[in-house]
């Protein structure tokens, strides 16, 4: 099936201030892509077309997780011209990131290290970027990973065209402005040094920055490997100093605790328990509540209550799902439906109350069987909708299309609170937000992956009518996507509330206006 049978739709202009190109975002196959095409005034000029095609030829040969993927060179009827097709990266530019974040050793080192690794890869492919700067580096929302973008000024030894001086002021090496001068990997190294200045890196990095930004290329590092060695040595000395200080502080704290907690009654007063001193050899990462601990329906408990500030998670006994829930609590994100601020089984918003984990179409909340015949086949109807039955009103389960809208039209930002992860702040087109946390899943009375992954049922059955699978939202700290899963898994549900008819049309119109 050709791409022309599935044309791009929903075009959005992302960037128009480039020298000779417009950059758009567009949809195909329910996925976002980036399209880079010539501005109308440059379409008839062959030299600019050659420059765009040169970027594609260089980009398509690069295969690194830290570099944007160049997917194709394709004619797009909307522009009546050819475009570069690239992967869409959900995130912000490093320029935007630096404007809102201060230097933090862990994440800043990670970003600089990944830029360095990307440049090492480019050098191995004989490619010089020539326009490395914060606005040409993306920082992903998930994991704060970096990706180099915009190879419009890049060059490779085997190209005979477009060798003129080029670069961006404040980041281009001096030799890039000299006609006929040799420009190699050290030009990108110069730009990396300038980017480290933008990070406002501590004084201990000043030698590395100074050497990277020498006017004479021969005075810079002879290779990226030499630069990486100096960077790692500097970090090692810093960490050794910090660990020494922390060790002294902790030694003093533990000395005091040993004195206080070494005596039963006094230790109990401090920690909040009664009796003699309590000692544990180790703390398990996750405690899986076993169904044998409970009797009757209680052994199919679908509620988690994570202990605050601890790695131990335990089950609480089965209770009724709270309801009804006031429809005024629904959050307007500027989408086709409103979204609940918390999961089924909760009464308020909290990262530590994860709600009910139920099988697909289970209206009681505590059926635990791997027999798919005990679950409905087909989309959930109102009489089988556990949300409608317990929350009342017009609350219901979301469809897969509504979850897909949540994925495509909202910004997802991963957050960590009290050591629990992952949780996403999901911000709609109108600026309002909800939080979606990792819930884990239930299988035959046991619970897995609590606060590490999240699984949420939709009301949509799988493609195979007899397959025993339904569509769910799956999230972890690096991904969020729609997948099909067996109906007997206990998963969370994030309810939705339809607008009144007049309000729904107005919301859809406002959302469209904001996106454009």
| Secondary structure letter of residue 222 according to DSSP | S
pLDDT of residue 256: 61
Residue 275 in any domain: the answer is no
Residue 252 in any domain: the answer is no
pLDDT at 465 over 60: yes
pLDDT at 450 over 60: yes
Q: Say yes or no: 209 and 163 in one domain.
A: yes
Q: Say yes or no: 351 and 313 in one domain.
A: yes
Q: Say yes or no: 114 and 51 in one domain.
A: no
pLDDT at 318 over 60: no
Q: Say yes or no: 81 and 109 in one domain.
A: no
Q: What is the mean pLDDT of residues 487-491?
A: 90
Residue 249 in any domain: the answer is no
CATH number at residue 98: 1.10.510.10
Structural domain boundaries, residue 83: 3-87
pLDDT of residue 340: 95
Q: Say yes or no: 67 and 98 in one domain.
A: no
Q: What is the mean pLDDT of residues 282-292?
A: 31
pLDDT at 266 over 80: no
Give the C-alpha distances (Å, rounded to integers) separating 160 from 50, 122, 150, 157, 163: 11, 19, 20, 8, 7
**Model confidence pLDDT, tens digit, residues 166-181:** 899 899 999 999 988 8
Q: Residues 58, 86: contact at Cβ < 8 Å?
A: no
Residue 265 in any domain: the answer is no
Binned at pLDDT 50, 70 and 90, residue 131 comes out as: very high
Greater confidence, 72 or 466? 72
**CA 261 to CA 266: how far, in whole Å?**
7
Q: Say yes or no: 127 and 52 in one domain.
A: no
Q: How many domains does the chain have?
A: 3
Residue 345 in any domain: the answer is yes
Residue 373 in any domain: the answer is yes
pLDDT of residue 91: 94
pLDDT at 290 over 60: no
Decide which of 32, 63, 87 is a domain's last residue.
87
Binned at pLDDT 50, 70 and 90, residue 2 comes out as: low
- In percent, how much of the chain has pLDDT > 90? 51
Tally of CB atoms within 10 A around 97:
18
Decide which of 222, 257, 274 is a domain's last residue.
222
pLDDT of residue 315: 41
Q: Say yes or no: 196 and 332 in one domain.
A: no
Q: Say yes or no: 99 and 202 in one domain.
A: yes
pLDDT at 503 over 60: no
Binned at pLDDT 50, 70 and 90, residue 122 comes out as: very high
3-state secondary structure of 255: helix
Q: Say yes or no: 16 and 143 in one domain.
A: no
Largest pairwise CA distance in the chain: 87
Q: Say yes or no: 74 and 111 in one domain.
A: no
Q: Say yes or no: 359 and 498 in one domain.
A: yes
Q: Say yes or no: 151 and 79 in one domain.
A: no
Q: Residues 513, 505: contact at Cβ < 8 Å?
A: no
pLDDT of residue 297: 38
Residue 321 in any domain: the answer is yes
Decide which of 197, 222, 247 is a domain's last residue.
222
CATH number at residue 79: 3.30.200.20
SS3 sequence, 315-376?
ECCCCCCCCCCCHHHCECCCCCEEECCCCCCCCCCCCCCCCECECCCCCCCCCCCCCHHHCC
Establish whether the linkage from the previous residue to 324 is cis, with ω within 30° of 0. Answer: yes
């Amino acid at each position: 099936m050709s791409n022309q049978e599935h044309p791009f739709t929903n075009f959005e202009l992302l960037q128009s201030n480039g020298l000779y190109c417009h950059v758009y975002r567009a949809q195909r196959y329910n996925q976002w892509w980036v399209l880079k095409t010539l501005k109308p005034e440059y379409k008839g000029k062959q030299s600019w077309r050659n420059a765009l095609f040169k970027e594609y030829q260089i980009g398509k040969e690069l295969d690194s997780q830290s570099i944007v993927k160049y997917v194709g060179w394709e004619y797009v009827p909307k522009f009546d011209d050819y475009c570069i097709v690239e992967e869409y990266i959900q995130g912000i530019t490093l320029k935007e990131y630096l404007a809102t974040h201060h230097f933090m050793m862990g994440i800043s080192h990670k970003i600089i290290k990944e830029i360095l690794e990307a440049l090492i890869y480019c050098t191995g492919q004989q490619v010089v970027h020539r326009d490395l700067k914060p606005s040409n580096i993306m920082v992903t929302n998930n994991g704060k990973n970096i990706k180099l973008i915009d190879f419009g000024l890049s060059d490779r030894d085997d190209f005979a065209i477009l060798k003129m001086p080029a670069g961006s002021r404040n980041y281009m090496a001096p030799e890039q402005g000299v006609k006929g001068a040799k420009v190699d990997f050290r030009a990108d190294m110069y730009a990396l040094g300038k980017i480290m200045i933008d990070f406002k890196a501590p004084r201990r990095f000043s030698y590395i920055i100074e050497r990277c930004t020498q006017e004479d290329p021969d005075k810079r590092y002879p290779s990226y490997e030499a630069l990486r060695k100096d960077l790692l040595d500097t970090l090692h000395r810093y960490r050794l100093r910090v660990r020494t200080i922390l060790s002294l502080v902790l030694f003093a704290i533990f000395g005091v605790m040993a004195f206080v907690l070494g005596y039963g009654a006094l230790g109990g007063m401090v920690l909040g328990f009664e009796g003699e001193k309590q000692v544990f050899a180790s703390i398990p990462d996750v405690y899986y509540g076993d169904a044998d601990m409970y009797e009757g329906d209680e052994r199919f408990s679908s509620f988690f209550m994570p202990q605050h500030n601890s790695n131990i998670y335990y089950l609480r006994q089965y209770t009724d799902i709270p309801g009804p829930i006031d429809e005024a609590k629904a959050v307007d994100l500027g989408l086709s439906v409103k979204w609940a601020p918390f999961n089924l089984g909760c009464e308020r918003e909290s990262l530590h109350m994860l709600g009910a984990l139920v099988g697909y179409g289970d209206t009681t909340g505590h059926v635990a069987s791997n027999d798919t015949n005990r679950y409905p086949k087909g989309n959930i109807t109102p009489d089988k909708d556990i949300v409608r039955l317990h929350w009342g009103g017009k609350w219901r389960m979301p469809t897969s299309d509504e979850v897909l809208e949540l994925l495509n039209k909202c910004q997802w930002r991963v957050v960590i609170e009290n050591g629990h992860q992952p949780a996403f702040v999901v911000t709609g087109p109108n600026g309002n937000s909800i939080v979606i946390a990792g819930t884990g899943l239930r299988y035959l009375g046991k619970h897995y992956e609590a606060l590490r992954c999240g699984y949420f049922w939709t009301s949509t059955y799988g493609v195979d009518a007899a397959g025993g699978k339904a569509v769910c939202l799956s999230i972890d700290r690096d991904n969020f996507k729609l997948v099909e899963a067996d109906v007997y898994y206990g998963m969370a549900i994030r309810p939705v509330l339809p607008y009144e008819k007049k309000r729904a049309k107005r919301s859809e119109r406002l959302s469209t206006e904001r996106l454009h």
